[in-house]
Structure 1
Amino acid sequence: MWHDNRQDKQWPGPRGWKNKNQGGWGKSSKKWDNSEYLSELKFEDVPRPKKPRKYTVSIAVPASILEETCLKDELRTYVVGQIARAAVIYSIDEIVVYDDMCSQKRGTTNAAHVTPKSAGDFLEMMRTLLEYQECPQYLRKHLFQYNAYLRSVGVLNALNSPHHLRFNQWCEYREGIVMEGGGKNLSYVDVGLGVDVSVDHKLKPGLRVTLKMPPETKEMKKPYGVVVSPDEPREKAGYYWGYTVRVAHSLSEVVTGCRFPGGYDLLIGTSDKGENIKQTDLPEYSHAMIVFGGVDGLEVALEADEKLEATEPLQMFDIYANTCPLQQSRTIRTEEAIVITLAVIQDKLVHSGTK
């Protein structure tokens, strides 16, 4: 059976997936339903992509933008929401939130009682909001408890990602949460269908999992599924299946903390001091990382990181690119740069990604 490493996250409060003992806006105690609900429901089939995708694309975003360019929590929340939207629109598989100032002197705080401004913890705010946005709506009540970081989520626009399925949409894959109950070798999973799906393994209640269900499940009174890797929908069927979120406390950790085997084999830095991306060809890659700078650019992040031997961006990145060479505004905000860059570079990424 696939081991979903999301159960290994031990972040307290709002910082990650939660187990049944952490509380939330809802409870993970939904009982098994033997009704004929599924057989009576008319499903809308989700179109299957033309081919699977092996390569991945990641972006790194500095959390300092929430402190330096946003004055209120509502605006900070909206900006993070726009970053999440851009990530989904352009099929980004991983978002790394990093501290471009390497300021690790901040103490731990309880997010339920403080604001990000008083805690100074914009890394956690950005991570929490990105994870909240990525999570399918029907799972949020189980996985997130209310806290200061989520006070303004009403301003967020829906992602409408392929894995954010409505109850009447059919896809062979679905995200779910393991419910209470079951047997020695049996667990029930809520996948947003109104009826729990059984799996033939005993799993920890409160664990988020990815299920694959056979077509006949649509007609079953007691549907069943198989737990698979969260990467399988992309690698075997070609579905875009959301992004993961990782925190890095420096620019160097963006690279060294890579979760993919072999690390990133294509590093792209973005700056108005870089080369015109339209005149640059990308080499073939398996895992690409695109790094964005804060208000003062990547040069400042490079200088602040004492672990880096590189003194110039060109020494660290395979490509140092200017994705908007004709800009007329004196500055481009980071959230704007993300949209511009991904729009300009998408075709190149698709063409050069490992087939």
Structure 2
Amino acid sequence: MADYNDHIVVNTKPRSKKGEADEMTDKSKKRKASAVVLHQNSGDNASPAKKRKSDVQAQQDVDIDTSKPTAIFKPTNGRDWTVTIALPGSWTLNAKKPDHKTIQVGRIARAAAVFCVDEIVVFDDDPGNVDPRVVDPKYIRQGRGKLEKSKQDILDSILEEDEAWQNPDQFLYHLLSFAECPPHLRYDREDPRLSIFKEHQNLKWVGNLPSMDMPHHLRSHEWCQYREGVVLGPAPSPLSSTPKGKKSDEQGYAYVKCGLPYPVRVPVPPEPPIEEGMRTTVRFAKADAPSSWPQMSQADCENIEAIACPSSLPREESGYYWGYTVRRAASLSSVFSECEYPNGYDYTIGTSERGVPVHSILPGATTSCSQNSTKAPDSFKHLLIVFGGVAGLEPAVANDPELVKKGLGKSTASSLFDAWVNLVPRQGSRTIRTEEAVEIGLCALKPWIDGLYEQ
């Protein structure tokens, strides 16, 4: 009987003796490998116990569907605590090509999404100086008789095509905001006026950004009680007529496009005015999908009960991770002074290779902290983690006029934070890049942060 390995495709091209020898060796290897596999899978000599174990394992393998991702975010209880990261845009200057810059920013956005960061602050780590090696002198030069330009005036004058290289804070802010926005809201090709983002040189290479796949980036077939939408314009009142004896409905309404087959109608207050193209979060009255979902008619969409709400409501009310907000800060001190939370950040962490090992500050750590770091509390309301640029976080402290007035400098930068940590003690590489530091830092702190879900 012919061996099944003999049924092979014959190459009619003349071969050398060496080629024939190699083929014989390959065929020999194939036969040996096949023989081993057949022997291992043969059930003739296997014991009944092994057969039963094999059958159970096979059934378990069938039950596990690996054809698509299954790690869908599952909200628990509402949470009022948040995680914020802050970093300068100057670290993007290391990349010389805009597509490489975009890839680096994508790593920050992706890390924020994976580790459920609620806020990203982009700060200027040298607010008092304009580096002529970064900003073209044509933007810095003064006209005759004109007052000296401030740094902000100079940055505002930089043309769109130069932002990626000469205004790194704005470039980072722009791309982080784009990555967080649900894809169906970024561009409206039918009506560009309703696009959250307009065509811009900074966004030319966004095809290099990874998918964020956050809970509010819903697929067309997925239902959620909350959705992100964009205001299309005013909508008529759902009441077609007013019964006698009742005042007319003075409540205003607007149409919002939020990923359903048709826009939904939501009530809007008279102040502040709701403008066309504004982004808003929509909350439906019922958590369960309507009976007509997903084949909803225009009447179904217009009459579904919904309201416009703050983007923080899905987190506060139901515990969803609902993406991150992005904020610009003119300096490191502004990260603290312009915090939007009423009582500010209640625990702050600065990162530096001169800090204590990050694990030493976590609750339950057996090692003691230095005098410049305090142990992390069991819980917090608003956590802030600050990362430095290419030269580290110390220069950002020394370059901040407000912090200098308080007597802070490079050697005393650690006193600005509750904890001053080294993310990678005994690092093998000479430097830890900012995008790497963000990933490593969030990963190291995740077990501590996750403990708040259980409280």
TM-score tier by shorter-chain length is: 0.7 to 0.9
Contact persistence 2:185–2:230 (CA under 8 A): yes
CA 1:110–1:99 in 2, change beyond 3 Å: closer, same or farther? closer
Q: Select which of 254, 274, 278 maps to 1:207.
A: 278
1:191 aligns with 2:237: no
Q: Which residue of 1 aligns with 2:123?
A: 98
Contact persistence 2:163–2:170 (CA under 8 A): no
1:28-63 superposed Cα distances (whole Å, 9 cap, x missing partner): xxxxxxxxxxxxxxxxxx764122221101000111
The DSSP-based 3-state class of the residue aligned with 1:79 is: helix
1:269-327 superposed Cα distances (whole Å, 9 cap, x missing partner): 01111001111131132001100001111111111111102231221000001121132
What amino acid maps onto 1:201 in structure 2? Answer: V
CA 1:130–1:276 in 2, change beyond 3 Å: closer, same or farther? same
Larger gyration radius, structure 1 or structure 2: 2
What amino acid maps onto 2:206 in structure 1? Answer: V
Q: Which residue of 2 aligns with 1:108?
A: 156
Q: Which residue of 2 aligns with 1:77?
A: 102
Q: Select which of 303, 309, 325 maps to 2:398.
A: 303
Q: Cα RMSD between the aligned structures?
A: 2.0
Instruction: State the shift of 1:348 in Å.
Output: 1.4
1:243 aligns with 2:337: no
Instruction: State the shift of 1:204 in Å.
Output: 2.4
Q: Which residue of 2 aligns with 1:292?
A: 387
The DSSP-based 3-state class of the residue aligned with 1:180 is: strand
Q: Separation in 1 of the partners of 2:291 and 2:397?
A: 53
Q: How many residues align?
A: 308
Q: Which residue of 2 aligns with 1:7?
A: none
Determine which structure has greater relative contact order: mean sequence separation of CA pairs < 8 Å that are 6+ residues apart, divided by chain length.
Answer: 1
Q: Select which of 60, 77, 82 maps to 1:51.
A: 77
Q: Which residue of 2 aligns with 1:137?
A: 183
Q: Which residue of 2 aligns with 1:230?
A: 311
1:242-284 superposed Cα distances (whole Å, 9 cap, x missing partner): 0000111111011111011111111100111100111113113
The DSSP-based 3-state class of the residue aligned with 1:211 is: strand
The DSSP-based 3-state class of the residue aligned with 1:177 is: strand
Deviates more, 1:285-294 or 1:108-117: 108-117
Q: Separation in 2 of the partners of 1:200 and 1:238?
A: 25
Q: Separation in 1 of the partners of 2:281 and 2:381?
A: 23
Instruction: Give 5+ residue unaligned stretches, structure 2.
Output: 1-71, 130-149, 188-194, 238-251, 363-375
Instruction: State the shift of 1:108 in Å.
Output: 1.4
Q: Separation in 2 of the partners of 1:316 and 1:353?
A: 28
The DSSP-based 3-state class of the residue aligned with 2:173 is: helix
What amino acid maps onto 2:173 in structure 1? Answer: R
Instruction: State the shift of 1:110 in Å.
Output: 6.0
Q: Separation in 1 of the partners of 2:159 and 2:280?
A: 26
Deviates more, 1:140-149 or 1:279-288: 279-288
1:126 aligns with 2:126: no
Contact persistence 2:120–2:325 (CA under 8 A): yes
Instruction: State the shift of 1:181 in Å.
Output: 4.0
CA 1:353–1:155 in 2, change beyond 3 Å: closer, same or farther? same
Of all paired residues, the percent bearing the same amino acid is 38
Q: Which residue of 1 aligns with 2:35?
A: none
Instruction: Give 5+ residue unaligned stretches, structure 1.
Output: 1-45
Q: Which runs of 4+ in 1 moved over 6 A?
A: none
What amino acid maps onto 2:283 in structure 1? Answer: K
Q: Which residue of 2 aligns with 1:4?
A: none
